[in-house]
Amino acid sequence: MGGNALATVGVQSKRLNKSDFNNLTKKVVKVLDIAINKANKMGASIVSKPHEVKAYKQKETFGDLDLLVDKELFKYISYEDIMEMLKLEFNYEANLPFKEKDEKDMVFSLGLPSDEDGVFFQLDLIASDKEFYDFHSSYLNWNDLGNLVGVVASSNGFLKYGHDGLVYQFRDGDNLFKKVVLTTNWNTALDFFGYSKERYHEGFDTLEEIYEYAASSKFFTPDLYEFENRNHTQRTRDRKRPTYNGFLKWIEDRDSDGLFKTNIALSKEDWKKRVLEFFPWFEEREKYEWSKLQERKDFKKYFNGGILLKHKPDLVKVEISEYLKELEKSVPDLVSFVLENKEEAIEKLIKIKEKESPV
């Protein structure tokens, strides 16, 4: 995504005008439709068509083609297979260039042949989980709009708005110990952040309209987007994004006119109230997650290598780890046993283990 992946592997790429881009898109979607049909005949259950990530309607040239695909496809049809299918479709005999993809990366970037020798057009195949596919599609649409809306979400420190829905992040200090999905319904998420779902579904003709929409929530405040108010990862990522930098310039021009003076910067407490207002079921879930965290803390307090050494002082580091694993097998429900016996838990577990061990 972004059109720069091929450059990182030393491959020259080009931009396409809208007509050529649309023709190329049809060819690629045709290949992916065939691949999906083949995968389904092999046992897959892919129901979503490839999703062409939408750009603003008056965009005249394109640096890459972003297509979202149900990642189940790649369990049956490899990326190499798809590249071979694309070679046939584009009547191209040589190997297509591509950027190596690690297991965690959702995007596979490759070059499609152009009318210039040695020059390619970048195709990004974005793998999506089936359960998040619809939300992921909407999040990627309209030139990074999802990321701009996500800045409002991340301003409170515990909400995350990304390809996998609106997520509540539980933190204990710096420890992120649990993520809970609040919704994967795109319209609900827009409502939650004060955006008009009706306006979103009308689409956007220009970048200007996208910027206007990103700033249309009553919870939008310009300072949220300043790089000094973003964390290191966000700054590094967003400095490279033309849409984000264009939005900063757009904000600067309009903020001087006092356009955003009436906007509300919600406190963390107010955001929390809003979460409970939209998702009343979350109150019980929150209590549960904090109680489970305390349970894990108590368990580690009474079941650890330090306590084991008091009873088995001759054990060395590797032996401690192995001995603890053996103790875990001594009772059916280790956690309940430890929390019930507390300081005496390991001593009792040792006795159970040694009694069970053959003489």
Per residue in 290-331, pLDDT tens? 999 999 999 999 999 999 999 988 888 888 989 899 999 889
Q: Which residue, among 140, 146, 150, 148, has the nearest Cα to 245 in the 3D structure?
A: 148
> Region 45-67: what's the mean pLDDT?
94
Q: What's the pLDDT at 276?
A: 96
What's the mean pLDDT in 132-160?
Answer: 90
Task: Count Cβ atoms below 10 Å from residue 315 Cβ, excluding itself.
Answer: 16
Measure the CA dihedral 317/318/323/326, to 10°.
150
pLDDT band at 126 (very low <50, low <70, confident <90, very high): very high
How far apart are the C-alpha atoms of 325 and 317, rounded to whole Å? 13
Question: 249 is written with which tokens?
Answer: 């310039």
Residue 31 has pLDDT above 90, yes or no: yes
Per-residue pLDDT tens digits for 243-297? 888 888 888 887 666 666 666 778 889 999 999 999 999 999 999 999 999 999 9
The span from the CA of 181 to the CA of 323, in Å, is: 37
* Residue listed under structure tokens 């103790």: 327
pTM here is 0.83
- So what's the pLDDT on residue 101? 76
- pLDDT exceeding 70 applies to what percent of the chain? 95
Let me know: does 122 contact 129? Beta carbons within 8 Å: no
pLDDT at residue 1 is higher than 60: no
Q: Confidence band (pLDDT; 50, 70, 90) for 359? A: very low
* Integer angstrom CA distances of residue 188 from 165, 169, 180, 185, 279: 10, 18, 16, 5, 10
Query: CA of 250: how far to CAs of 55, 68, 151, 244, in Å?
Result: 18, 29, 16, 10
Contact at 8 Å (CB) between 248 and 215? no
d(CA 224, CA 104): 29
Rounded mean pLDDT of the chain? 89
Q: Return the closest-CA partner of residue 192 out of 278, 133, 125, 254.
A: 278
**H or E segment to which residue 12 belongs:** strand 12-13
* pLDDT of 14 over the 50 cut: yes
Residue 181 to residue 163: CA distance in whole angstroms: 11
CA 146 to chain centre: 12
- Residue-wise over 21-38: b if at least 16 C-beta within 10 A, else e? beebbeebbebbeebbee
pLDDT of residue 223: 82
Percent of the chain clearing pLDDT 90 (strictly above)? 62
Taken in order of first residue, the domains within the chain and their CATH numbers are 6-128 (3.30.460), 143-282 (no CATH), 303-356 (no CATH)
Distance set, CA 248 to CA 54, 205, 300 (Å): 22, 20, 47
pLDDT at residue 214 in the model:
92
| Residues 47-58, mean pLDDT to the nearest whole number | 94
Name the amino acid, one letter, at 272.
Answer: K
Residue 264: count of CB within 10 angstroms of its CB: 12
CA 32 to chain centroid, in Å, comes to: 23
Mean pLDDT across 179-190 = 95
Start-to-end CA span in the chain (Å): 64
